[in-house]
Structure 1
Amino acid sequence: MRRRDFIAASAAALAAPWAGASPPGSDLPKGPVKILVGWAPGGGTDVFARIVGQKLSEVWGRPVVVENKPGATGSLAAEYFARTRFTEGINLLMAHVNTHAISPQIFKSITYDPLKDYAPIALIGATPHILVTSSRNSHGSVQEVVELCRKSPGKVSFGSSGTGSVQHLAAEMFNMAAGVKSIHVPYKGSGPMQTDLIGGQIDFSFDTMTAATAQVRAGKMLGIAQTRVNRAKGFPAMPTMDEQGFKGFDASSWYGVVGPRDMSRELAQRINADINRVLAMPDVVSRFDGYGVEDGGGSVDKFAAFMAAEYKKWGDVVRAAKITEES
């Protein structure tokens, strides 16, 4: 077959499945498709939304627009989404452990109910955190950090990206499990916190794997343990907290997609099926592995149960550690 004939035949074959049939996504609600992200462009939540959004646009044959509404560690966008009546298109929100499990249990200004004011759709994935210290220190194991805290009670400090962040609560979980007391130093993000950690102004942190990886691999921070029960593919040689004596220790940042409260179950299940399809694509799996994102996908009901369990788990930590807006 001549090359020109081959190309023509191939094009016809590719077009054939849609000949006389509706294009993909034509059965979905008409109008724009938007994913709202409560953080600025470039952060993990934004990156994951754009990866999924781009693939959904290919599956549905229509643009998917990611909009950013940063503020209050994602809660500004979550509050807006819960209070807005959407009248056209498909409107989605990137849910996060902060917005849907932690912040509503700490900050009095938050009025939305994370379990009732949204329609669960799909879990995108979860990423571990890493217990890190400055590479200048000699703390090479979790037990050595515990001993440091015991020798200087109330003087050892840990940094976080802000009050009520997973970094903050993971360290409080560590304090309670180890029976030690360390001092919380909140920052406005991982960047400034890492600068002080590397410089020795604070002693340790449970930073996100996404944020900590570059500094750990550059040798500026020492990665001691990861915070999911199983080791992440990106750090197969780094032991978990569970492996180092803290049985069942699990502190993850997770990301999901939710819709408006009045979204029909049928539409939620349809979008869920397409997101599961996206998450199984080899190039998406590869990119997510690079960020340490794992365990995404599953049914609508599985995600709803997951969010409820996370809300209870982190609520228990907030109450046990007596965490408030001023902590």
Structure 2
Amino acid sequence: MQRRHFNQMLSTFALGALPAAVRAQGAWPDKPVKIVIGFGPGSGTDIIARLMAEELRQALGQPFVVENRPGASAQIAAGAVAKSPNDGYTLMLTSNTTHSVNPHLFKKLPYDPMADFTPIGGVAYFPFILAVNASLPVRTAQELVTYAQQNKGKVAYAYGTPTVQIPAEAINRLKDMGAIGVPYKSSPPALTDVVGGQAQFLVVDLASAKPHLQSGRLRALAVTMARRSSLAPELPTVGEALGLRDFDLAAWTGMFGPANLPKDVVDKVSGALQRALARPEVRDRIIGMGAEPTPSDPATFSALVKRQLEVWGKNVQLAGIQPE
């Protein structure tokens, strides 16, 4: 009798413990969550990360704290997240820099863009545009190509980062323009010199170019994405304007966790992001900073990351850029 009673007690305890274990597994988050970014305060990625952190706090009931770890083209941040525990308390909001561009520009990275991360969801695109000094006698991308071909060695494009150098040089080579690439320490001075006439064209994010477009000193010719941007639907894509198939160089942002992040964590964060990005006030804030909200589920985002890694790699080769 005593033994039977003891076994019944064990069974009762086990059955009673099971729901508690299930509840424990579903309790994430029960403490603050860190969102690491590889760029400094005030950058576009930083602003979006802080907006998403507040939305996640409201949705999931715990603080989401943004940690800036800039440096080495965001390699430091990506490497740190890749090595973090996959318990859901370290996430990363990053861009095509870490997952599309760096793998083709550096021979050795402290992370693998596909194997070391769990894609959670897309957040926003920052459209790139092909733009010229407004005094240049061209109004379309094809006219720019023709002008450059007729003035080989006399037309220059400016760039401040590899992310904008790659599409500019790819167009230059694919269309045999013969333009000269002029490097700058960052994008703002490159943009300033195109506006001032020291260089003739560049690829730049729409948000940075907007004041100069509105003043009439800069003219936008096309977007570098595969589809037209809702922020400037009148602009054709580079593919449409120049007949370049599969030209899709987008500046995207999205959320990741370390590899093998638990599915319940992925689902919670992904669902909260998609709901936040559907809210008109959140969408308006993102659009106001020159970006397009691009909510997506983990599978769709994962496919985007894989596709963009291949596309950027192809265009790095076309641009003749050698990895360091």
Question: Which category describes the TM-score, using the shorter chain as reference length?
Answer: 0.7 to 0.9
Q: Percent identity?
A: 32
Shift, 1:86, TM fit: 3.5
Q: Distance in 2 between matches of 1:232 and 1:325?
A: 31
For residue 82 of structure 2, what is the aligned residue in structure 1? 82
Quick check: 2:88–2:261 contact (8 Å CA) kept in 1? Answer: no
Quick check: 1:125–1:297 contact (8 Å CA) kept in 2? Answer: yes
**CA deviation vs aligned residue, 1:44-76 (integer Å, no higher than 9, x gap):** 111111111111111122221111111122222
Q: Distance in 2 between matches of 1:320 and 1:267?
A: 39
Q: Distance in 2 between matches of 1:177 and 1:98?
A: 23
Tell me, yes or no, if structure 1 residue 190 matches structure 2 residue 193: no
* Runs of 5+ unmatched residues, structure 2: 1-25
3-state SS, counterpart of residue 66 of structure 2: strand
Which amino acid is the alignment partner of residue 180 of structure 1?
Answer: M
1:174-213 map, 5 Å: 174-213=171-210
Question: For the structure 1 residues 76 and 215, does the alpha-carbon distance in structure 2 shift closer, same or farther, using more than 3 Å as the test?
Answer: farther
Larger Rg: 2
Quick check: 2:36–2:91 contact (8 Å CA) kept in 1? Answer: yes
**CA deviation vs aligned residue, 1:266-286 (integer Å, no higher than 9, x gap):** 311221111111111111111
RMSD between aligned residues: 2.1
The TM-score with structure 2 as length reference comes to 0.85
For residue 18 of structure 1, what is the aligned residue in structure 2? none
Which amino acid is the alignment partner of residue 304 of structure 1?
Answer: S
Q: Distance in 1 between matches of 2:184 and 2:85?
A: 35
For residue 140 of structure 2, what is the aligned residue in structure 1? 141
* Runs of 5+ unmatched residues, structure 1: 1-25
Which amino acid is the alignment partner of residue 294 of structure 2?
Answer: G
**CA deviation vs aligned residue, 1:267-320 (integer Å, no higher than 9, x gap):** 112211111111111111112223343361222111111111111111111223
1:167-178 map, 5 Å: 167-178=164-175
The TM-score with structure 1 as length reference comes to 0.84
1:46-195 map, 5 Å: 46-83=46-83, 85-86=84-85, 90-162=89-161, 164-165=162-163, 167-195=164-192
Which of 222, 230, 246 is 1:225 aligned to?
222
For residue 43 of structure 2, what is the aligned residue in structure 1? 43
1:255-270 map, 5 Å: 255-270=253-268
Q: 308-317 vs 180-189, which deviates more? A: 180-189
Shift, 1:207, TM fit: 0.2
Q: Distance in 2 between matches of 1:89 and 1:270?
A: 10
Question: For the structure 1 residues 154 and 75, does the alpha-carbon distance in structure 2 shift closer, same or farther, using more than 3 Å as the test?
Answer: farther
Shift, 1:98, TM fit: 1.1
Q: Report the number of matched residues.
A: 298
Shift, 1:116, TM fit: 0.7
Question: For the structure 1 residues 105 and 230, does the alpha-carbon distance in structure 2 shift closer, same or farther, using more than 3 Å as the test?
Answer: closer
Which amino acid is the alignment partner of residue 114 of structure 1?
Answer: P
